[in-house]
Each structure stands twice: as C-alpha cells, then as structure tokens.
Amino acid sequence: MGKSWNLHTQDGIGILEFDCPDTEVNVLTAENMAELRDVLVEIPKRSEIKALIIVSAKKRIFIAGADIKEIQNISTEEDAFKKAEHGKQVVQLLEDLNIPTVTVINGACLGGGYELALATKYRVASFSEKVQIGLPEVKLGILPGFGGSIRLPRLLGLLKALPLILAGKVIPSKDALKNGMVDRLFPEGTLRENAVEFAKEIVQGKINGISSGRQLKRKSNWFLEGTPFGRSLVFKQAKQNVLKETKGFYPAPLQIIDLVRRTCGRKGQSVFQEESRDFSKLAVTPVSKSLIKVFFMMEQYKKFPWTDISGKVPSVNKCGVLGAGVMGGGIAQLVSYKSIPVRVKDINEKALAGALKEAWRIYGGALKRRKITAYDRDYKMGLISVGLTNDGLRRADIIIEAVVENLEIKQKVFKELSELTDAHVILASNTSSLSVNQLADVSKSPERVVGLHFFNPVHRMPLVEIVPSSRTSREVLERTIRFSRTLGKTVIVVKDVPGFLVNRLLLPYMNEAAYLVEEGVLPEELDRIAEQFGMPMGPVELVDQVGIDVGYKVAHNLSEAYGERMKVSSVLEEAKQKGLLGKKSGRGFYIYHGKEKKLNPDFKFQKFAKPIPQEEVMKRLIYIMVNEAARCLDEKVVNDPSTVDIGMIMGTGFSPFRAGLLRYADQVGLPNILADLERFQKSVNRARFEPSPLLERLAETNQTFYQ
C-alpha cells in the first residue's frame, strides 16, 4: 500500500506490516506516520477485516521509536506541539478502531513504538532476549509525546507506570508480561503465526482475560492509587526521588510528575493536549538538545570503526585475569556475567578468596534488584575459577593483567606471560597510567600487548580505554575492541601517553581541588560547587572514592611525565603521609559511617579570611580540564573532540546535560576561557594554567573545538 506500511489479510485477520525502506531499523517519521494515517482510515471500510495485528518486517526490531533527528531539529514550541498532535491523531485512529487490535513485538519496542502499541487493545511479544520494551524519552530530556504519559498510567496504575516513565526504564519481555505491559509471550520462531491465532481467538470470544499484570488491583495499593491523599503521597515521594537522583538539573522528570498528577483520572482529548504542551516546552530546552547530542555520540561509539578490519576475527572464548584485587575481581565478575569462562590467578590465596567474594557481592546486588535469578548467579559464579599457578591461564584467549600499578612488577608479568602463552593470546594490561610501550618492550611478542583500562567499579562504569602500543597488531586491537563491546563497554582508543585520556584530564581536576583546599576553600564547599555544576560527586570526595593511595600514585606518575603543571599538591602529600586510603578504609579527607560523612579532624582545614568566589573555583576546576583536553587533541592522543566528550561522560560522569566537556567549552566561548586561563597564570600559578597552543590558536581565530 505504501513505502513503509503493507496491509494484507489472512483468514479475516488484517496483518499490517511495518518496514522502513533502506534502513536496518524501524523508526516513526512524519512521512511514514502520514502513510499510517491513510491506512488506518481505510481499515474500517474493509468489512472482511475482523481483527488487526501490527507486525514488523525487520529482524528483531519492532519500532525503535520516533526519529530522533526530527526531534533534534525542532526549534520552536509551536513546531513541537504540532508534531506531537499530528502523531497523536494517527495513534488515536488506531485506538478508535472498532475491531480487536494486537501489537506483535519481535524486538526493540521503544518510545513512540511502544506508544503506538499502547493504542492497541492487546500486545504480544516473543520470549527472545532481544525484546526490549519501554518509554525512554526522559533520557533525551523530553517526555512521551504520542500519548504514552497518559496511556501507561491508565494501563498499569501509578505505582507501576510512574517509575518506568521517570527512569526511562527498558525491560525484557518476561518482566513486561509480569508488569502488564504485554499480554502474552510466544516463541520467537512462531511469533507471527501465534499472534494470528491469538487474534482469531479474540474474534471468536475464546480469550478470557489478559496478562496477570494488567490493571492488577491490590488492596495494599488502593489507598495510594484510589484516593486524592494517597496519590499526593505518591507524587510527593516521586518528586523527592527525582530531585535526589538528578539534583534538579533535568526538567523532564519533574514535568512528567506534574503532567501525570494533573491528568490522572481525567478523560477526554484535553489530557492528551496537555501532554503535547508539556512535550513542546521540553523539546526546545538546552538540556534536551544536549542529551540528544550525547545520544548520537553514544550510538556512534557503539560501532565506531577504530581499525580497518571489517571481517571476522578470532573471538574470546576464555579469559584469564592476573591479580585478584578489587579490579581483578570486578573484571572477572563482568566477564563471567557475559557467560565467558574466566580464570583468576594470584600468588595469595586470601586475595583469590577476596576476588570470589567481590564477584559474589556484585551478583548479590543484581539478584536483590531482580536483574538475575539465583540460578543465573550460581551458573555465572561457576564460570569463575581461581588458582595460584599459571596452568589455568594457558588456555585463555586474552589475559588481563590487574596487578599493582608498578612498572617493574608489570614488566616482569608481561615477560613471563609472553613466554608462557601461544601466539593467539592477547596480553592486556589494566594499567591506568603506565606506558604500554614499555610493557611491550620486555615481551617476547610485543604485537600481542595492548592496554585495556577499565574504570572502577568495573560492573558500573561503561567506558574502557584501549591503548595500543606502537607495535600492537591491527588484529589484536580489533579483537580487544570486539571483546570489550561483548562485555557491554563503550570503547575509545587512545594514544599511549601517561594517564591516557581520562586520568590525564581528571587528575589535574582533583589536584586543583587540593590546591584550592590549600588556599582555604573547605572540602565541603568545593564538593558543593562541583555538584552544583553538575558533577556526580565533588572532587574531594572523588579522591576518597578512587582511593588516596591509588590517586597519589597516578598523580605522581603524571607529575613525573608532565612536570610542574601537574605537580602534586601538599594536601595530597599530607594525606598519603598520614596513611589514609579514602572511602575503602572509612577514612580519607572525610570520615565515612555508612552513607554519612564528615570532615576528617586529622586535617586542620581552615577557611581563609578572603574567600575565593564560587564562579572562580568552578572555572579553575573545569578550565584546567579543558586546557589539558586541548593538549590531548593537539598531540593526537585522541582522534577528535567527541572522543574526549564521550570519554569524560562515560568515564567520569561529566554532566550529560552539558553535552560534554568540549561542547561546554564551545558554549562558554574559547576566547573567554583563554582570558581566564591567562588571568589564573598571573594570579594563581603560571605552569598549571599555561594555555595550550591549540586553545590559543582556536581562541585567537574565534573558532571552536567542534567546527
């Protein structure tokens, strides 16, 4: 019937197939929504159609959502309102059909795709793990614009629907069935045939009831869902949770709460128009525009071709981990979580026990959050084996070294591993700042050596830095990239320089915080200023989180490499001398008791009489990173500004609503940053704030990092 939608019948069942041309995924665009409208207008005229099922012609993709590029290009509230209303009109035509309608979900069903599904009377899906269902619009700084903010609470009730929309949560088919988001699950191979039979049974009146989760009314929920006072408590608690999680930087979740509160229990088209108005307000905000930029960056780096190898390379079927500390245990847990057998080797039985304990702890948290079952935990723990000898490492396809951050020790390890293992085995180091080239120098097969830098905690931090030496083979690099992506990580490939990218930027930030403490800014004040800027935690607490011993060691490595501009502050020296470890021991710059923290009295923190203005504190913390990032670009440590930004967002939690460190710098204006750096050179320290040559060149010609 058209370019994207094809309608045919089978035994009285209309089968409406969606197939976006020339693309691997289905997305809803203004063009194909207009085409869908024409189809839906015709269906009531077809008396032979007794029921309608909507299916996808794409393999394991139903509808990935609305076309985000169209959302990105919205420039006015009026334009946003019209787009939302046009989409709603089409969705309403589907909801108004006077025949049974069934959405057949065979893969990703997200955003506008699930909003379309909510307009049908029934939804079925396959058991496949590829099925992912949800309304993730909040992650783009907007809210569902095709009626999802209204229909999902009506379907599931407030207590189930609100957390799903506010978190933009995407869930698998089994959880969707329990929640009532779908009504039946069928085998993937026979999904369409089963859906047709399901529709026939509906027409014949044989379907008695739907999923147990839909509109589940429990007495314990009646007060919270069914009374004005109860609902007010739900909305109040939701707002408190959102503010705690987002610190008020993201307007979309707060707007969602307000919209659902205003429309809850109301009927008629006016409630849908309220959703369109709220959508239009959010779609033009700088936060939404920034989050969309971040989304496209993340999509780009999921498949970014770091090498020119596009064909098949040997996969990693077994992994070895050398070193059973916190990082080693975390890496082993992650590898086993992806169903890859892993052998952990250490010279200390207590350390090996600690690695197993760490993996068990992480799995316990996943079990508690219902991410896995007890069977999953036990099976995946069984994939982790430990030993004191190298015997178990010989059969590995990759060995990840995670021993103490000491060059001589690591060199000894790599010399031994290169002599022990076959030519196909990748030898990877989890070093955070040491030279991969110097590890390759002592190896019998330097082409097999590569840096693979995970961030702590391994199971939560989404980034890995992959660091090839000058002799790492293209195949080893490509295999390491694919292995990292198998683990679910975002990959950036960086040049072998001290600190690589993320630590080279982050350590000056933490070091500058220590210098500010020397100048009389209290740690709590520093952390508050950084958090108000949007950092996930303040720099002083971050030092404690990383570990003072670890941070000090990396800081000294960078100081030796980069000289005076990264000289370690006396405050960090003092903390190291006092033997403080930070959060892991309960004592650092702060003393920790559970979730509570207070300043450590071991330090004589003193606020000076002449306070440093908050804006100046913030500029010193952030601009020192911008300046170092410019050096990294100039030295070809990374390939372009977006690699810096994705690295800082995914590796440090840099504020996504600012779209990245260098996009933020562009917004501030590089001439303004250069002027402040030159001022700090004179008033604070010449070496630390000396502008990088690239920043000077760009600022003087009024250019930006993103040309």
For the chain, percent of residues with pLDDT exceeding 90:
85
Stated as kind and residue range, the H or E segment containing 186 is strand 184-186
Q: Is the dihedral of CA 669, 670, 671, 672 positive or negative?
A: positive
pLDDT at 210: 63
> Which residues pair with residue 8 across a beta bridge?
15
Specify the pairing of strand 170-171 against strand 132-134. antiparallel
User: Can you tell me the distance from the alpha carbon of 9 to that of 15, in angstroms, rounded to the nearest whole number?
Assistant: 6
Predicted confidence band of residue 334 (pLDDT cuts 50, 70, 90) = very high
**DSSP 3-state of 650:** helix
- Residue 422 structure tokens: 């076959």
> Which residues pair with residue 13 across a beta bridge?
10, 51
DSSP string over 259-322: HHHHHTT--SHHHHHHHHHHHHHHHTSHHHHHHHHHHHHHHHHHS---SS--S-------EEEE
Catalytic residue among 85, 115, 447, 465: 465
Q: Residue 62 carries which side chain, given as an amino acid letter?
A: F
DSSP string over 340-402: --EEEE-S-HHHHHHHHHHHHHHHHHHHHTTSS-HHHHHHHHTTEEEESSSGGGTT-SEEEE-
Kindly report, residue by residue over 237-276, the tens digit of the pLDDT: 999 999 999 999 999 999 999 999 999 989 988 999 999 9
Q: Is the pTM of this model over 0.95?
A: no
Q: Which ranges of 431-547 does DSSP label H, i.e. alpha helix?
A: 436-441, 474-486, 502-518, 523-533, 539-546
**DSSP 3-state of 24:** coil
- 261 φ/ψ angles, rounded to the nearest 5 degrees: -60, -45
Predicted confidence band of residue 633 (pLDDT cuts 50, 70, 90) = very high
Kindly report, residue by residue over 412-455, the tens digit of the pLDDT: 999 999 999 999 999 999 999 899 999 999 999 999 999 999 99
Q: 78 an active-site residue?
A: no
First to last CA, the chain: 43
Q: Is the pLDDT of residue 216 over 50?
A: no
pLDDT at 85: 97
Question: Residues with Cβ < 8 Å from 704, sequence gap 6 or more?
Answer: 666, 670, 698
Question: Residues with Cβ < 8 Å from 47, sequence gap 6 or more?
Answer: none
Q: Which domains does the chain have, with CATH numbers?
A: 5-284 (3.90.226.10), 319-493 (3.40.50.720), 502-700 (1.10.1040.50)
Nearest to 452, CA basis, from 415, 398, 412? 398
Strands (E), 536-636: 590-593, 596-599
pLDDT at 221: 77
Nearest to 279, CA basis, from 93, 116, 71? 71
Q: Is the pLDDT of residue 213 over 80?
A: no
Q: Is the pLDDT of residue 607 over 80?
A: no
- Whether the CB-CB separation of 700 and 707 falls below 8 Å is answered with no
pLDDT at 239: 96
pLDDT at 241: 95
Give me Rg for the CA atoms of the chain.
28
